[in-house]
Amino acid sequence: MAVAKPKTIGPREVHAAIERLAAAIEARHPDSKGLLVLGIANGGIPVARRLCARLGIRRVGDLDISFHRDDIGKHPIPKEFTPTLLPGDVNGATVLLVDDVLFTGRTVKAALDELFDHGRPATVELAVLVDRGCRRLPVAADFSGIALAAAQDEDVVVSLHDDPARDRIDIRPREARAQRAASSR
Amino acid sequence: MTWTRRHLLSIEELSLAEIEQIHATSAAFKKILQRNVKKVPALRGKTIVNLFLEPSTRTRMAFDMAAKRLSADVIAFDAASSSTQKGETLRDTAENIQALNADMIVIRHAAAGSPLYLSKILDIPVINAGDGAHEHPTQGLLDTFTMKEHLGSMKGRKVAILGDILFSRVARSNIHALTKMGSAVTLVGPSTLVPHGFTALGAKVSHDLKSALADADVVMLLRIQHERQGHRHFPSLGEYTSMFGLNKTRASWLNPRAIIMHPGPINRGVEIDSELADGERSVILEQVTNGIAVRMAVLYLCAGYQPEHVISSTE
Q: Considering only CA atoms, which of B141, B178, B173 is closest in space to residue B27?
A: B141
Which residue type occupies B266? I
Q: How many other β-carbons are positioned within 10 Å of the β-carbon of residue A185?
A: 8
Name the E strands within A21-122: 36-40, 60-63, 94-102
Angle between helices A44-55 and A11-28 (to 10 degrees): 60
pLDDT value at position A185? Answer: 37
Mean pLDDT for the stretch of residues B256-284: 94
Mean pLDDT for the stretch of residues A112-136: 95
Pairing of strands B218-221, A7-9: unpaired
Residue B269 — φ and ψ, nearest 5°?
80, -5
Mean pLDDT for the stretch of residues B221-250: 83
Query: Does residue A66 sit within a domain?
Result: yes
Query: Does residue A1 sit within a domain?
Result: no
Greater model confidence, B55 or B16:
B16
Domain membership of residue A90 as a residue range: 7-72+79-184
Provide the pLDDT confidence category of residue A184 given band limits of 50, 70 and 90.
very low
Greater model confidence, B290 or A179:
B290
pLDDT value at position A5? Answer: 60
Pairing of strands A154-159, A168-173: antiparallel
Contact predicate A21/A144, CB 8 Å: yes
Partners of A39 in beta bridges: A62, A98
Interface check B309 vs A, CB under 8 A: yes
Bond into A42 cis (ω within 30) = yes
Structural domains present in chain B: 16-135+291-314 (3.40.50.1370), 137-288 (3.40.50.1370)
Give the percent of chain A with pLDDT over 70: 91
Backbone dihedral region for residue B130 (phi beyond 0: left; psi -120 to 50: alpha; all else: beta):
left
B24·A76 Cβ contact <8 A: no
Residue B207 — φ and ψ, nearest 5°?
-115, 10
B304·A77 Cβ contact <8 A: yes
Per-residue pLDDT of B171-224, as tens digits, reads 999 999 999 999 999 999 998 899 888 999 999 999 899 999 999 999 999 988
CA atoms within a 13 Å half-sphere pointing along the CA-CB vector of B315: 10
Per-residue pLDDT of A83-104, as tens digits, reads 888 999 999 999 999 999 999 9
Provide the pLDDT confidence category of residue A146 given band limits of 50, 70 and 90.
very high
pLDDT value at position B187? Answer: 97
Interface check A71 vs B, CB under 8 A: no
pLDDT value at position A77? Answer: 78
Greater model confidence, A80 or B75:
B75
B:21-80 residues touching chain A, CB 8 A cutoff: 21, 24-25, 27-29, 31-32, 35-37, 39-44, 70
Q: Does an H or E element contain B21, and which?
A: helix B16-33
pLDDT value at position A3? Answer: 47
Is the pLDDT at A183 greater than 60, yes or no? Answer: no
pLDDT value at position A101? Answer: 97
pLDDT value at position B175? Answer: 98
Least confident residue range of A108-117, B68-77, B233-242? B233-242
Q: How many other β-carbons are positioned within 10 Å of the β-carbon of residue B111?
A: 13
Q: What does chain B come to in residues?
A: 315
Which residue type occupies A136? R
Query: Does residue A2 sit within a domain?
Result: no
Residue A63 — φ and ψ, nearest 5°?
-125, 115
Mean pLDDT for the stretch of residues B143-164: 97
Mean pLDDT for the stretch of residues B63-71: 96
Which of A64, A73, A181 is facing B303, going by the closest CB pair?
A: A73
Domain count, chain A: 1
Q: How far is CA A4 from each of CA A154, A173, B22, B210, rounded to the nearest angstrom?
A: 8, 7, 40, 72
Residue A108 — φ and ψ, nearest 5°?
-65, -40
Mean pLDDT for the stretch of residues B279-296: 96
Query: Does residue A84 sit within a domain?
Result: yes
Pairing of strands B47-52, B104-109: parallel
pLDDT value at position B59? Answer: 95
Residues of chain B with C-beta less than 8 angstroms from the C-beta of A179: none
B3·A73 Cβ contact <8 A: no
pLDDT value at position A180? Answer: 45
CATH number of domain containing A109: 3.40.50.2020
Per-residue pLDDT of B301-311, as tens digits, reads 999 988 776 55
The span from the CA of B193 to the CA of B233, in Å, is 7
State the count of interchain CB pairs (< 8 A) between A and B: 75
Which of A76, A83, A185 is facing B306, going by the closest CB pair?
A: A76
List the single residue in A with minimal CA-CA distance to B300. Answer: A72
Residue to test with chain B: of A75, A77, A86, A185, most B Cβ within 10 A:
A77
Interface check A5 vs B, CB under 8 A: no
Provide the pLDDT confidence category of residue B228 given band limits of 50, 70 and 90.
low
Mean pLDDT for the stretch of residues A35-41: 95
Least confident residue range of A100-104, B64-68, B172-176, B240-244? B240-244
